[in-house]
Structure formats: structure tokens, C-alpha cells
Amino acid sequence: PFQVVGGKVKKPGKRGRKPAKIDLKAKLERSRQSARECRARKKLRYQYLEELVSSRERAICALREELEMYKQWCMAMDQGKIPSEIKALLTGEEQGKAQQNSTKLAKASKTEANSSNP
């Protein structure tokens, strides 16, 4: 009735794992612990998602305000008025261009002076 396979004695009958006689209380406690951990993970996941949503909502509000500001600027320019913020940007760019041009001229004059004096 017994088979010897690879040095191991096998009993005839059902294959696979036999149901281990696990203590029912320990099994219930593991199940409860697993449920607690699952709820904790779920709670953390929802907290993360809520924070993500609120940060995105704040970003949306900021972008809407920026868009409204640009709309106001466009309406003002359509009426022939230049908003002070745009004037500041333009004068800042013009000053920047003037500084770039002056440095280019200075560099050019230095190279010319160096090349003309052998």
C-alpha cells in the first residue's frame, strides 16, 4: 500500500496539501489584523488623494486668477491703454536690450583696439 518515490514514502490517497489543523482563534486574529492593516492603508491612500485634489484645486484657482488678469490686460489694450505691468515689462526689456547692445559695442571696440595695435 505504500509507494517509495525518491527515497520518500508516500501514502496512497488524495494529493495536494492537507488541511492543517490551525488554531481557529489564531486564524481569526490574523484575519482581524489583516483587516486593520487594510483599513489603515485605505485611510492613508484617501488622505493622499484628498491632499492631491486640494493642491490641484489651489493651482486651478491661481491659474484662473492669472487668466483673468490677462483678459483684463487685453481688454485695456483693445481700448488703447497699456497696463502698467506691461509697461514695466517693456521698459525692462528695452533696458535689457540697451545694456546688451552697449556691452556688445564695448566688446567690439576693445577687439578693434587690440587688432589695430600690433
pTM: 0.50
pLDDT at 111: 57
Q: Per-residue pLDDT tens for 38-87?
A: 999 999 999 999 999 999 999 999 999 999 999 999 999 999 888 888 88
> What is the C-alpha separation between 35 and 48, in angstroms, rounded?
20
Q: Per-residue pLDDT tens for 1-41?
A: 566 666 666 666 666 666 566 689 899 999 999 999 999 99
pLDDT at 39: 98
Q: For residue 105, with 0-12 CB atoms within 10 Å meaning exposed, 13-18 middle and 19 or more buried, which class applies?
A: exposed
